[in-house]
Amino acid sequence: MYLPFVIVCIFSFSEVKYTIFLAYRVIANVRNFSGLIVHFPIGDSFKMREHTKRTIELLAPGGDADCVKAAISAGADAVYCGLGSFNARQRASNLSLEELQDLVAIAAQHGSKLYLTLNTLVFDHEIPEILTMLEGVYKAGVRVIIVQDLGLLHLIKSNFPEIEVHASTQLTTHNEGQIAFLSRFGVAQINLSRELSVKEIQPLCDAAHDVRMRVEVFVHGAFCISFSGQCYMSSNLCGKSGNRGACVQPCRRLYSLPHAKDRASAKAIFNLKDNFVFAEADKLYNAGVDSFKIEGRIKKFPYVYNVTSAWRDQIDALKDGREIRNDDNRLSAVFNRKFTSGYIDGAIGADMFIDSSRDQSLKHIANVAGYWADKKVLTLDTDANLEPDTEVLIYSPDFTFICKGVCTKKLRPFEYQFVIEHKLKGLICDGYQVFTQEISDDADRIKAIIDAMHPVKIPLTIQVSGTVGEPLKAVFKSPDDAVTLLSQLPLSEASNRPLDKDGVLAQFSRLGTTQFTIESLDVTELGINCFIPQKELNRLRCAAVDKLSGNTIDASQFAIPLISQDMSQKPNVRKAFVVDTLTGSGLQGDGKCNIVALILPNSIENVDFLAASINGSRSVIPFFSSILIGLDFTNAVALLEKLDRRMIITDNTGIADVASRTGRKWIAGPGFNIINSYAVKALATVSGFCGVFLSSEFSKDEVGQVQVPSGVDLWQALNYKKPIMTTRQCLIRNISGCVKKQCDKQCLPKCNRSATVTNTQGKQFTIVKKPGFYTVVLS
């Protein structure tokens, strides 16, 4: 039991709420809460929250031009999309720079806007390419960039404050300290980790709003089994990094369990259903969420249109005070793996998993009776009576995707001409299942809508005036704005052909791919026999386009000084011997290390006991975990306050923020995913930063030489096997069985089990759940 002995109530001006400080004294040797801070409004945490009419952003995915248009036409307030590289969905079609410019104009015409994703980790040698890309997207009219890499974040905000930066879910944000840390770098909007419940989201919204930051939450689409940004499984398997946008989705594959006799018993033990919080929209709204985000940049336009339009109607009902719906047929009519609201409801359990990645919106029509590749003929076991050009999908009996194709015409009963789209994923065998998707008819209607969407040029009226000896004056007017410009050179007397309307129009009409077109040109106030060089007219045109487009960054600013690679300056390399217990010979290290680093659990049971143990071990440096949610973060902060002044290692930016604000030296752990000099430079702006572990996901050859400033050490970990995945789910249940259908309060602090699984290539993985730690996967 616990005895609260101090209660302090503070009323803020922004909303009537309590800030309750509870200092607890432990009575039984169970758990010691020290310095727990809880925020909640008067009355019920959610239903009694002051209901002000806030604007909720609907943020939709755009994997290609059709998807962007589909999202816009369905009512998205903003669409997030990527170019060919440096985004977390390399498998998406993505956009060209030319397409992006047109789509920005189309979005503006419909009251929407585009966000560009640069949400991957980047290497030093890629920074010049990114700056070139950034210049292009800025000129195209994009003003919001979504990022993961701390170096890129710092680079953009330091040099281009006009560009708004949003923090990707890849930054694994789930506590107040992380929000404070990112606010140092000018982040305007933050996407929270998908593993959080509504009760855990609300205090984060409060914390974000206190620093003028908006909160974004995924409301629909695929789940990752791992905390985003902390998964290295794809990289471990085949060198394709999820943090570099190349994930091969190993979590969707089959794995053989211990003592399995054959592959037929393999299970999709990591495979989660899709996120579905449609019925909880009001709870998220009341919790303070500012942006509802839909996942799906590798989905096609029918998916984007249907899901976006359903959520548009739901948000409008919320905004108008009407009753919201619990479901919508449009959501189940498109790709899904069945649905779950387990995370938002705080009900993490077996019901969140599904044994197949097959699209549950598909309709089974027949099985394969025969396939002749040379003749492109597919025979079915029943007469499905398919219309010409019907799209079908073929799966094996264990629901492994084989191919997508089109039955172009019916040859005879049961037999069709069949053209495969893309590459086969395996042989088409007798007995394989054939599916259609009922959304195909609706797709034609949606395609007609988006095909009719084209950018409309903005008309300009231009007036020019001036006489010899004066600057040329040019007034450019659009329907919404006007700009007046003067030439840098005065008008001179023409020695040959004087400046006339045709001469001015010839230069001013060179608007290329910009969003403008000339409606009229007035030169009645232009003096006779005047001359000015063509390049000066071109300069005026370019300046007018920039100002009317809101381009305030000069092109020269994108050529920022890069960090030079000083090969002669070698960083001070130090080594840490990593242990996970305060007992045993490991505390002495191996004789080659500078310190012993003690990995701390995600959930700390007894703050006072652990603090005393660490303080009593001179050689030990505490190593804070990457995932610290809610009370676990509060207790980690309490531990930090009770430690002596020794430095710490942390994989969590929230703990780094607290350490910095309390004058403590700290080292960025491998969980920071640092792989470039700019990220180290960014961390160096945070007081107390004194060392860094580079990401262990990439080889030295891939990363190259990262420049480390004077006073900052480069650390290496000995005796450390970094998990290739960390999850809030229980995986043991899926492997060796557990009677609990849902994780309860005892699972995180008490469970101590492990198991092994093997993928279809024979590679073995160990699943480990230790007391106080989340479940991890080790290679």
pLDDT(477) > 90: yes
Residues 6+ apart with CB under 8 A from 333: 306, 361, 438, 439, 442
Question: What is the spatial distance between Cα 731 and Cα 725, in angstroms, rounded to a whole number?
Answer: 11
Q: How far is CA 223 from the centre of its chain?
A: 12
The two tokens of residue 9 are: 């109530």
Residues 6+ apart with CB under 8 A from 557: 159, 160
Residue with tokens 């930054």: 171
- Amino acid 57: pLDDT: 98
Higher pLDDT, 405 or 37: 405
- When mean pLDDT is compared over 49-58, 441-450, 529-538, the highest value belongs to 529-538
- Amino acid 438: pLDDT: 73
> What value does the mean pLDDT of the chain take?
89
Provide the pLDDT confidence category of residue 567 given band limits of 50, 70 and 90: low
Q: How far is CA 526 from the centre of its chain?
A: 54
- Amino acid 586: pLDDT: 55
- CA triple 457-463-467, angle to 5 deg: 150
Which of 61-75, 351-365, 404-418, 601-615 is predicted with the least confidence, judged by mean pLDDT? 351-365
The average pLDDT across 171-176 equals: 98
The two tokens of residue 348 are: 């993490």
Provide the pLDDT confidence category of residue 407 given band limits of 50, 70 and 90: very high
Provide the pLDDT confidence category of residue 89 given band limits of 50, 70 and 90: confident
Cβ(119)–Cβ(148) under 8 Å? yes
Provide the pLDDT confidence category of residue 508 given band limits of 50, 70 and 90: very high
- Amino acid 585: pLDDT: 56
Helix (H) or strand (E) holding 612: helix 607-615
Give the percent of the chain with pLDDT over 90.
77
pLDDT tens string 328-345: 999 999 999 999 999 999
pLDDT tens string 296-310: 999 999 999 999 999
pLDDT(34) > 50: no
pLDDT(101) > 50: yes
Give the percent of the chain with pLDDT over 70.
90
pLDDT(637) > 90: yes
Question: What is the spatial distance between Cα 60 and Cα 80, in angstroms, rounded to a whole number?
Answer: 6
pLDDT tens string 234-249: 999 989 999 999 898 9
pLDDT(10) > 60: no
Provide the pLDDT confidence category of residue 364 given band limits of 50, 70 and 90: very high
CA distances from 288 to 173, 213, 240 (A): 16, 11, 37
Provide the pLDDT confidence category of residue 517 given band limits of 50, 70 and 90: very high
- When mean pLDDT is compared over 4-13, 217-226, 734-743, the highest value belongs to 217-226
Taken in order 610, 612, 616, 622, the sign of the CA dihedral is positive
Cβ(532)–Cβ(489) under 8 Å? yes
- At 725, phi and psi to the nearest 5? -160, 140
Provide the pLDDT confidence category of residue 635 given band limits of 50, 70 and 90: very high
pLDDT(49) > 50: no
